[in-house]
Amino acid sequence: MIATESKIMHFASTVYQALDNFFPREGRWYLFGSHLTLVFIAWQFYGLQRTTEQIALAYVAAILVEYVGFRLTNKYTGRSFWKDRAFSAASEAAGLLVLVRASGTETYAIMAAIAVANKYLFRIDDQRHAFNPTNFAIVLGLLIFPKTIFDVRSDEFALHLHPILHVVAFGVLATWRGNSWVITLSYFAMLALGSAILPHVSGESFLFHFAPEIGAIGMVFAWLMITDPRTTPRERPWQILFGASVAAVMLVLRLGEVFYAEFIALFIVTTIRTIWLLRVPELRSS
């Protein structure tokens, strides 16, 4: 019996080891896989409302700015630009192409440049930046672009199950390998808890509060944005607090009928965290 158990454990361990060796540890590869393929599939099959020029310019701008930052700073010393940073930059551009709808040809390029530049400009230590690049570009876009040319919406994805499954599949891998799944879990737990409580305040149903976050945008946000290993805590208790805080702030903003609440909530929480780290430098790993 013990021998059988041992064999099973050994088999499981072998399988896990094989998976562990097969799937890269760095979450950005899954971000890259998710967003670039999603943009491509949507472009080909959903009729993504982005022009070829917008898509191309966004990628070029992101990679260019990444290159400049890479050369001028020591943030990614020891890494290869083309094998590492270029993919990261392209992922950030793709994320914006998925989440944002803008009419200007150059808008995505500007936003992609802002997203990438943010990594080099706003840091909390040598390796980590303060704000998630895509989130930073979106909130700054909300601030600087007139509403006539900029919006955060992904109508093309809303009719299909595919984008949700697509993002979740890559998101599970990203959070598993990046050891940040606790953030997503705590985010959804707080969202569920809040959605159960809020009907007593708003008069709406549980689903009314919860379900908007399980659409395509919500999935990108929950699995691939708030779990960004470079802008989120590494230790489990802090991860739980981080994920739950984002959900809580978002629900409060929603109650106030604030649009784009999740993006603003994430930005508020990361800003508070940045301030916290400023005050308590020894907790910088949190």
Residue numbers of the site for another protein (CB under 8 A)? 46-47, 49-51, 54, 103, 121-126, 129-131, 139-140, 142-143, 147-151, 153, 155-156, 158-159, 161, 164, 203-205, 207-208, 211-215, 217-218, 254, 256-260, 264, 267-268, 270-271, 274-275, 277-278, 281
* Nearer to another protein (CB atom), residue 179 or residue 192: 192
User: What are 222's two structure tokens?
Assistant: 């929950």
Return the closest-CA partner of residue 154 out of 57, 162, 146.
162
Report how far residue 33's alpha carbon sits from residue 175's, in angstroms, rounded to the nearest whole number: 14
Q: Are 219 and 208 contacting, i.e. CB atoms less than 8 angstroms apart?
A: no
Between 49 and 286, whose beta carbon lies closer to another protein?
49
Q: How far is the CB of 264 from another protein (least distance, A)?
A: 6
Minimum distance from residue 80 beta carbon to another protein (Å)? 24
For another protein, the closer of residues 44 and 148 by Cβ is 148
Work out how close the CB of 283 gets to another protein at its nearest, in angstroms, rounded to a whole number: 12
**Nearer to another protein by C-beta: 23 or 162?**
162
Q: How far apart are CA 252 and CA 266, in angstroms?
A: 13
- Written in H, E and C, the secondary structure of 214-263 is HCHHHHHHHHHHCCCCCCCCCCHHHHHHHHHHHHHHHHHHHHCCCCCHHH
Minimum CB distance to another protein, residue 186 (Å)? 22
Q: Which is nearer to another protein, 63 or 97 (CB)?
A: 97
**Smallest distance from the beta carbon of 249 to another protein, in angstroms?**
11
Q: How far apart are the C-alpha atoms of 147 and 151, rounded to whole Å?
A: 7
Residue 240 CA: distances (Å) to CA of 85, 183, 187, 224, 256: 29, 6, 8, 16, 25
